[in-house]
């Protein structure tokens, strides 16, 4: 997947440097998550699946030692804030 990162909330300024690196690496390796639409007249179309994407991102960050529901800002691996 190609990434174009726009830092709308100063993420790279305030986030732990390891999180910035890990998020960039996880997103770069993420496969495209799609599902069939369940909207009337569009059931044969593929649409983006944010549920699948979020699950993948969470799994990959946890595998790198990030705690569930930890703060992005000034966080430490393995420690929920």
Each residue's pLDDT tens digit, 51-66: 999 999 999 999 998 8
DSSP summary character for residue 31: P
Name, in order, each residue with C-beta under 8 angstroms of 18's C-beta and a sequence gap of 6 or more. Answer: 77
Tens digit of pLDDT for each residue in 18-77?
A: 888 898 899 999 999 999 998 888 778 999 999 999 999 999 999 998 887 665 544 445
Task: Please answer whether residues 1 and 60 qualify as being in contact, where contact means their C-beta atoms are separated by less than 8 angstroms.
Answer: no
Helix (H) or strand (E) holding 59: helix 50-63
Residues in the chain: 81
pLDDT at 73: 45
Residue 79's DSSP bridge partners are 76
Specify the pTM.
Answer: 0.69
């Amino acid at each position: 997947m190609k990434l174009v990162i726009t830092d709308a909330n100063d993420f790279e300024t305030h986030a732990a440097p390891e999180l910035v690196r890990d998020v960039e690496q996880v997103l770069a390796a993420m496969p495209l998550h799609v599902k069939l639409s369940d909207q009337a007249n569009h059931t044969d179309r593929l649409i983006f699946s944010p549920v699948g994407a979020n699950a993948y991102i969470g799994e990959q960050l946890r595998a790198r030692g990030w705690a569930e529901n930890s703060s992005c800002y000034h966080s430490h691996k393995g420690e929920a804030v």
